[in-house]
Amino acid sequence: MVEPDPKTPRERYRAQVRAEIKEHAWEQIATAGVPALSLNAVAKQMGVSGPALYRYFAGRDELITELIRDAYQSLADTFREALAAGADVAGLAHALRGWALADPQRYFLIYGTPVPGYHAPEDTTRISSQIMATLLDACAALTPDGPTTPLGAHLEEHRDWAEGHPAPSAALHQALNFWTRLHGVLSLELAGHFAGMGLDPALLFAAELDDLLTRRV
């Protein structure tokens, strides 16, 4: 979580204040959503006056970008740790849901409503690739080989996003299925659509995961 780079005392202090700002920002986002994130309110919480924060972040947009970056990294770490702990695809799915439920707005920061003009910085797409790579690892272990599906052929042609991952096309297809389907149920759960219908989100998620595992490709 923390950067072990306390070169000068100044950088040390700076990193600490930046972290504290982000901490308060996460709190605001979790309770009222991204639109309600206010630099002024964060400053007030820290007992400091508004413009002080501009020493640490160029503006509101840069702070949000940083939070998005951290969200990506947090998910990548969660996946990596789960896989290192011996989790299979189902374990990864469980880790994903737990991570999302811990802070729904953090999930939506990555996979939620996009801002039309916004373009994510380069490194977030790199971290995103790491996430997919972890998922590919698990899928390749689950599906060592399989028939190439029609979509698998397309994925084979455009496997740049796999970044040289040596997974067969069946694993590519399955990883994509996991991603899109789990996102489907999970995002609807986090948005409260199932609760509004009197359904149990955990059951829907489990059923979708089970379908993915038992009826793979």
Partner DNA sequence: AGGTTTCGTTAGAACCTATCACGCAACACC
Partner DNA sequence: GGTGTTGCGTGATAGGTTCTAACGAAACCT
- Rounded CA separation 126/129 (Å): 5
Binding window for DNA (CB under 7 A); candidates: 2-10, 74-82, 126-134, 135-143:
2-10
Angle of helix 104-111 relative to helix 9-32, nearest 10 degrees, comes to: 100
Sign of CA pseudo-dihedral 113, 118, 122, 124: negative
Instruction: For residue 69, state whether it binds a second copy (rule: CB under 8 A).
Output: no
Neighbours of 100 (CB within 10 A): 23
Interacting residues with a second copy between 185 and 214 (CB under 8 A): 185, 187-188, 190-193, 196-200, 203-204, 207-208
Assess contact for 21 and 27: CB atoms under 8 A: no
Instruction: For residue 16, state whether it binds DNA (rule: CB under 7 A).
Output: no
Residue window 94-133: x/- pattern of binding to a second copy, with contact defined by CB under 8 A:
-----------x--x--xxxxxxx--x----x--x-----
- Rounded CA separation 118/120 (Å): 6
Interacting residues with DNA between 55 and 94 (CB under 7 A): 55-56, 58-61
Q: C-beta of 7: minimal distance to a second copy in Å?
A: 35
Whole-angstrom distance between the N-terminal and C-terminal Cα of the chain?
37
Residues contributing to the site for a second copy (CB under 8 A) = 30-35, 105, 108, 111-117, 120, 125, 128, 149-151, 154-155, 158, 160-161, 176-177, 179-185, 187-188, 190-193, 196-200, 203-204, 207-208, 215
